[in-house]
């Protein structure tokens, strides 16, 4: 059939579809007999079959259309643009195709991938839902939808979606791996570990699976098994930098000369000219920083820490002006009078306890202490407060960064609804009937007005550590995601200073609403500080809180192994051997450094 005849036949079939689906089906089938790779004809057949009530056949035809799309020159061009990361070209081609045929599920799925690549997960979700609606048997679209849920921190929905996908494709290791990761994010550790055990049996040479298995074992406190899993992964792929960093990130092992040599060799293999190996290089640099620190070679350690930070900083492109602008906006929009005018709004539930501050400031220790109390459940660093605040800004103004002004304009019922949304979203994290639970996401300090107005009954604990110890600890820590401020000494210092500035404002306009724990005071007088915390929380003192290291609960942060030991001063003054390189940090901290633990008068 000539191309023009093929196009005319398609047009005739489309014309028949509205009133004569059986005739349209016959026309579509005739086209398919001549051109079996005609995706458009398969889609027409699916529509006609659906109109005739033959749903199972319609779904099969829709999947045939997806398969046929791989022969379509337009789809091949769009796929090539995606593979080469020419996203504008791919998007333009796919949108043009969907203008011609809005039911092309292969194009819908590819457009969803474009949206996901640029972080428009809401758009990706809508597109994938449409693809699944048109072709319920399109397993790849359902798997993509599970990934989009995961990327949006909707882990329970990701697990449910993956259960469906794995029901049809039980032997797919990528889907099982994602399910295990999602289970870990909602506290399903036993099921996640069982999945990893099965996967590593089936794929013993898959280094990243062994690494993920090691992460989960670390989380539940099985440190020796975790180390064994990481070492097994290294035996499979000694050049995978993330595994070396995973070992370093345990904080409790010391690398030897053989380890340093192996990492240096891997770093040579991951040449700077190989852009695809940038992540390997940055992980190796961070791990080598730890290794040379163990050996007492602080110059070499700093050189590697600086190199790893430089790579990650270039990838993330953090601008400290964004954090400063948010703090400025909060101070401007939320004076004492605004809080007073909005008092009584929000969801009154007293369940949440927020432990916040900078990363590496002792928040995991505080959480472990509190989670050892019979009335308080520890969860993890929950992403829900930032997600809700940024969604508010996006919905109200089109710009997630403008959540502050959007919050200031909200009526009482909307504030209460947001509070209830937080409680509903985090309910999956609660595994006991304890009345209180902890969200210890450090970055929640930047969303304090959101917390105070949507959850006025919640308690807030600010974990604060000496600026140089805290900032240096951030600089030598590579975070799995986020914390973009932490990859430059000046950026870390500016971030700490903005944090102190905002907390001082909250103390002034909401006195007594935030309880501050100075890390060094907690080390000096654990019982006294713990008693004060519990009194602020209105729960009785319990001795178990002083024996927090005996608590075998899962801990997901970089401090997981450190909080399984009694209180110690190992982390104090770790910056001192690196003092010669810290002038940029000290300059950025400014008066905050000299005033600690007090607060200097900082300009708004």
Per-residue confidence (pLDDT) for residue 164, from 0 to 100: 87
Once rounded to an integer, what is the mean pLDDT over residues 230-254?
A: 93
- Find the range with the poorest average confidence among 39-53, 259-273, 451-465: 39-53
Q: What are the Cα distances from residue 166, in Å, to 63, 143, 155, 191, 205?
A: 18, 9, 16, 15, 22
Residue 513 scores a pLDDT above 90? yes
Output the six-digit token pair for 564: 């399984």
Is the pLDDT higher at 409 or at 472?
472
Per-residue confidence (pLDDT) for residue 4, from 0 to 100: 42
Instruction: Using a pLDDT cut of 70, give the percent of the chain over it.
Output: 89
How would you label 444-453 residue by residue, b for 16+ Cβ within 10 Å and e otherwise? Answer: bbbbbbbbbb
**Which run of H or E residues covers position 518?**
strand 514-518
Cα dihedral 273, 274, 275, 278 sign:
negative
Once rounded to an integer, what is the mean pLDDT over residues 293-313?
A: 96
Per-residue confidence (pLDDT) for residue 135, from 0 to 100: 81
Per-residue confidence (pLDDT) for residue 171, from 0 to 100: 79
Instruction: Assign 86 a pLDDT band (cuts: 50, 70, 90).
Output: confident
Residue 260 scores a pLDDT above 90? yes
**How much is the mean pLDDT over the chain?**
88
Cα dihedral 474, 478, 482, 485 sign:
positive
Residue 568 scores a pLDDT above 70? yes
Residue 475 scores a pLDDT above 70? yes
Output the six-digit token pair for 234: 């290294």
Tens digits of residue pLDDT in 433-455: 999 999 999 999 999 999 999 99
Question: Which DSSP string corresponds to 427-485?
Answer: GGG--S--SEEEE--GGGGGGHHHHHHH-TT-EEEEEE--HHHHHHHHHT---SS--GG
Per-residue confidence (pLDDT) for residue 15, from 0 to 100: 63
Per-residue confidence (pLDDT) for residue 64, from 0 to 100: 67
Contact of 474 with 359, CB cutoff 8 Å: yes
Instruction: Using a pLDDT cut of 90, give the percent of the chain over it.
Output: 63
Q: What share of the chain is helix, strand, coil (3-state, %, to 5)?
A: 70, 5, 25
- Find the range with the poorest average confidence among 60-64, 299-303, 577-581: 60-64
Is the pLDDT higher at 159 or at 554?
159
Instruction: Assign 562 a pLDDT band (cuts: 50, 70, 90).
Output: low
Per-residue confidence (pLDDT) for residue 28, from 0 to 100: 63
Once rounded to an integer, what is the mean pLDDT over residues 258-286?
A: 91
- Find the range with the poorest average confidence among 149-158, 413-422, 468-477, 531-540: 149-158
Cα dihedral 34, 40, 41, 42 sign:
positive
Contact of 39 with 69, CB cutoff 8 Å: yes
Q: What are the Cα distances from residue 413, in Å, to 189, 319, 345?
A: 37, 35, 7
Instruction: Assign 66 a pLDDT band (cuts: 50, 70, 90).
Output: low
Is the pLDDT higher at 248 or at 221?
248
Residue 12 scores a pLDDT above 80? no
Once rounded to an integer, what is the mean pLDDT over residues 257-283?
A: 91
Give Cα 199 distance to the centre of its chain: 23
Per-residue confidence (pLDDT) for residue 378, from 0 to 100: 93
Per-residue confidence (pLDDT) for residue 1, from 0 to 100: 43
Residue 2 scores a pLDDT above 50? no
CA dist 206 and 39 (Å) reads: 37
Residue 69 scores a pLDDT above 90? no
Give Cα 312 distance to the centre of its chain: 16
Once rounded to an integer, what is the mean pLDDT over residues 314-332?
A: 96
Instruction: Assign 272 a pLDDT band (cuts: 50, 70, 90).
Output: confident
Contact of 51 with 13, CB cutoff 8 Å: no
Instruction: Assign 22 a pLDDT band (cuts: 50, 70, 90).
Output: confident
Per-residue confidence (pLDDT) for residue 555, from 0 to 100: 58
Once rounded to an integer, what is the mean pLDDT over residues 234-250?
A: 94
Is the pLDDT higher at 555 or at 604?
555
Per-residue confidence (pLDDT) for residue 554, from 0 to 100: 59
Residue 480 scores a pLDDT above 60? yes
Residue 67 scores a pLDDT above 60? yes
Contact of 470 with 360, CB cutoff 8 Å: yes
């Amino acid at each position: 059939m000539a191309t023009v005849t093929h196009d005319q036949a398609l047009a005739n079939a489309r014309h028949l579809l509205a009133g004569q689906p059986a005739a349209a089906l016959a026309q579509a089938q005739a086209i398919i007999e001549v051109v079996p790779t005609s995706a458009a004809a398969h889609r027409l057949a699916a529509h006609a079959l659906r109109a005739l009530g033959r749903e199972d056949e319609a779904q099969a035809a829709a999947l045939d259309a997806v398969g046929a799309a791989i022969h379509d020159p337009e789809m091949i061009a769009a796929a090539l643009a995606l593979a080469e990361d020419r996203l504008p070209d791919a998007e333009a081609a796919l949108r043009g195709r969907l203008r011609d045929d809005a039911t092309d599920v292969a194009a819908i799925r590819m457009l969803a991938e474009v949206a996901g690549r640029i972080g428009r997960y809401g758009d990706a979700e809508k597109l994938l839902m449409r693809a699944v609606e048109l072709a319920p048997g399109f397993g790849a679209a359902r798997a993509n939808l599970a990934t989009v849920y995961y990327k949006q921190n909707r882990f329970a929905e990701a697990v449910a979606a993956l259960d469906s996908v794995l029901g049809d494709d039980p032997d797919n290791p990528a889907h099982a791996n994602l399910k295990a990761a999602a289970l870990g994010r909602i506290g399903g550790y036993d099921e996640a570990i069982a999945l990893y055990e099965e996967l590593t049996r089936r794929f013993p040479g898959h280094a990243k699976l062994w690494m993920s298995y090691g992460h989960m074992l670390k989380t539940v406190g099985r440190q020796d098994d975790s180390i064994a899993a990481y070492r097994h992964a290294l035996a499979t792929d000694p050049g995978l930098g993330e595994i070396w960093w995973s070992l370093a990130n345990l904080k409790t092992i010391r690398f030897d000369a053989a380890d340093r040599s192996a990492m240096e060799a891997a770093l040579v293999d991951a040449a700077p000219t190989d852009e695809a190996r940038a992540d390997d290089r940055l992980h190796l640099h961070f791990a080598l920083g730890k290794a040379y620190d163990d050996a007492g070679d602080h110059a070499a350690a700093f050189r590697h820490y600086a190199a790893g930070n430089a790579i990650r900083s270039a990838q993330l492109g953090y601008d400290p002006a964004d954090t400063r602008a948010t703090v400025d906006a909060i101070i401007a929009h939320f004076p004492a009078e605004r809080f007073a005018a909005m008092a009584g709004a929000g969801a009154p539930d007293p369940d949440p306890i927020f432990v916040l501050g900078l990363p590496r400031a002792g928040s995991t220790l505080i959480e472990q202490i509190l989670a050892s109390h019979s009335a308080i459940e520890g969860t993890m660093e929950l992403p829900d407060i930032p997600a809700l605040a940024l969604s508010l800004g996006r919905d109200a103004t089109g710009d997630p960064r403008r959540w502050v002004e959007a919050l200031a304009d909200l009526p009482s019922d909307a504030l209460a609804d947001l509070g209830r949304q937080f409680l509903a979203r985090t309910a999956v994290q609660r595994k006991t009937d304890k009345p209180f639970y902890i969200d210890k996401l450090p970055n929640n300090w930047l969303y304090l007005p959101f917390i105070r107005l949507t959850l006025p009954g919640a308690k807030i604990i600010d974990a604060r550590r000496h600026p140089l110890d805290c900032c240096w600890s951030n600089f030598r820590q590579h975070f799995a995601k986020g914390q973009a401020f932490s990859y430059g000494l000046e950026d870390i210092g500016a971030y700490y200073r903005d944090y102190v500035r905002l907390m001082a404002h909250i103390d002034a306009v909401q006195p007594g609403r935030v309880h501050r724990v100075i890390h060094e005071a907690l080390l000096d007088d654990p019982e006294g500080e713990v008693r004060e915390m519990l009194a602020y929380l209105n729960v009785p003192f319990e001795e178990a809180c002083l024996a927090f290291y005996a608590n075998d609960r899962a801990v997901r942060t970089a401090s997981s192994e450190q909080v399984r030991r009694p209180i110690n001063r190992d982390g104090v003054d770790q910056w001192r051997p690196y003092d010669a390189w810290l002038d940029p940090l000290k300059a950025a901290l400014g008066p905050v450094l000299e005033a600690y633990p007090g607060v200097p008068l900082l300009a708004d």
